[in-house]
């Protein structure tokens, strides 16, 4: 003997291939078009009032498909029991309580039943999201500050650094002489520059040229001294 109540939501919870195989051929196109929860609830043979109640609660819960089907299956079973005990569908719907509140409570409690990995991922996503929002907010605040305000130099570090130098009399300052010597320096012959001038020894063929260049630089060397 087959169980007339078994088909309903339990079948809807199966994968697409199994659903196609187990659905009578004449209602297959209709079944494939309709949403799984809606289809499953429609097959419960409950009064329309109770079907709408289950559909409303499961849709409002916005849970995963498998979770919605599980809730729908359980509520359908509950209402079947209620009807079998002689309670009218109106009374069952009334006893159910507030649908919106029920959907919210079911959503919250069903989410708690999800795997720990999901909770960890959700928490991480939330933390990253909050961090991103905080970064954007900080960036916008700093950008607004940069664009809307004018810089006010409260302390002149350059003047403070130069203060000691400014105290030295103009005549005692070496830098103008260094600069004068540098600018007056004759151009170094290329062959000396290529051979790395300070490394040239007396036995080197470039030695005479080097000596001539150093002699040419005598006024600048005196200025440096």
Partner 1 sequence: MRIERELMRGAGPLAVLKLLERGEMYGYQLVEALAKRTAGVLDMGQSTLYPLLYNLEAKGLIESVWKTSTTERDRKYYRLTKAGIKRLLKDTEQWRAVNAAMAALGITASLANPLRTPRLNLGGGAA
Residues 6+ apart with CB under 8 A from 118: none
Asked if residue 78 binds partner 1 (CB under 8 A), the reply is yes
| Of the residues 37, 55, 58, 82, which one makes contact with partner 1 according to CB under 8 A | 82
- Contact with partner 1 (CB under 8 A): which of 77, 89, 185, 209? 77
Kindly calculate the radius of gyration of the chain based on its CA atoms and give it in whole angstroms: 45
- 């130069």: which residue's tokens? 162
Residue 187, CA distances (Å) to 22, 77, 129, 134, 217 in order: 98, 103, 64, 60, 10
Q: Is 93 exposed, middle or buried (0-12, 13-18, 19+ CB in 10 A)?
A: middle
Distance separating alpha carbons of residues 57 and 69, to the nearest angstrom: 11
Q: Does 26 bind partner 1 (CB under 8 A)?
A: no
How many binding residues for partner 1 (CB under 8 A)?
Answer: 32
* Contacts (Cβ under 8 Å, ≥6 apart) of 131: none
CB of 14 to partner 1, least distance (A): 13
Instruction: Kindly identify the residues of this chain, within the stretch 194-223, that bind partner 1 according to CB under 8 A.
Output: none
Largest pairwise CA distance in the chain: 126
Selected binder of partner 1 within 74, 90, 191, 204 (CB under 8 A): 74
State in angstroms the smallest separation of the CB of 33 from partner 1.
25
Q: Does 1 bind partner 1 (CB under 8 A)?
A: yes
**Residue 117 interacts with partner 1 (CB under 8 A)?**
no
Whichever of 90 and 204 has its CB closer to partner 1, that residue is: 90
- Which span sits near partner 1 by CB under 8 A: 32-40, 73-81, 167-175, 201-209? 73-81
User: Taking the CA of residue 98 as centre, how many other CA atoms within 13 Å lie in the half-sphere pointing to its CB?
Assistant: 4
The mark string for 97-116 relative to partner 1 (x by CB under 8 A, - otherwise) is xxx-xx--xx-xxx-xx---
To partner 1, the closest distance from the beta carbon of 80 in angstroms equals 5
Q: Which is nearer to partner 1, 10 or 224 (CB)?
A: 10
The CB-side HSE value for 80 (13 A sphere, CA atoms) comes to 14
Which residues of this protein are in contact with partner 1, per CB under 8 A? Answer: 1-3, 5-6, 8-10, 71, 73-75, 77-78, 80-82, 85, 95-99, 101-102, 105-106, 108-110, 112-113
């Amino acid at each position: 003997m087959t169980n007339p109540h078994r088909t309903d939501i339990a079948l809807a919870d199966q994968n697409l291939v199994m659903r196609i195989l187990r659905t009578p051929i004449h209602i297959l196109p209709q079944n494939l078009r309709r949403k799984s929860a809606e289809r499953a609830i429609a097959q419960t043979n409950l009064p329309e009032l109770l079907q709408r109640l289950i559909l409303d609660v499961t849709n409002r819960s916005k849970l995963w498909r498998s979770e919605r089907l599980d809730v729908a299956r359980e509520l359908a079973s509950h209402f079947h029991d209620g009807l079998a005990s002689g309670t009218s569908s109106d009374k069952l719907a009334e006893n159910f309580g507030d649908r919106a509140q029920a959907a919210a409570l079911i959503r919250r409690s069903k989410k708690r039943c999800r795997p720990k990995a999901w909770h960890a991922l959700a928490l991480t996503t939330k933390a990253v999201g909050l961090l991103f929002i905080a970064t954007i907010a900080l960036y916008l605040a700093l950008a607004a500050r940069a664009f809307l305000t004018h810089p006010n130099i409260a302390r002149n570090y350059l003047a403070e650094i130069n203060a000691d130098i400014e105290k030295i009399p103009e005549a005692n300052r070496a830098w103008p002489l260094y600069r004068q010597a540098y600018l007056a320096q004759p151009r170094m012959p290329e062959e000396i520059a290529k051979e790395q001038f300070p490394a040239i020894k007396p036995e080197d063929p470039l030695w005479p040229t080097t000596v001539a260049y150093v002699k040419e630089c005598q006024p600048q060397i005196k200025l440096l001294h």
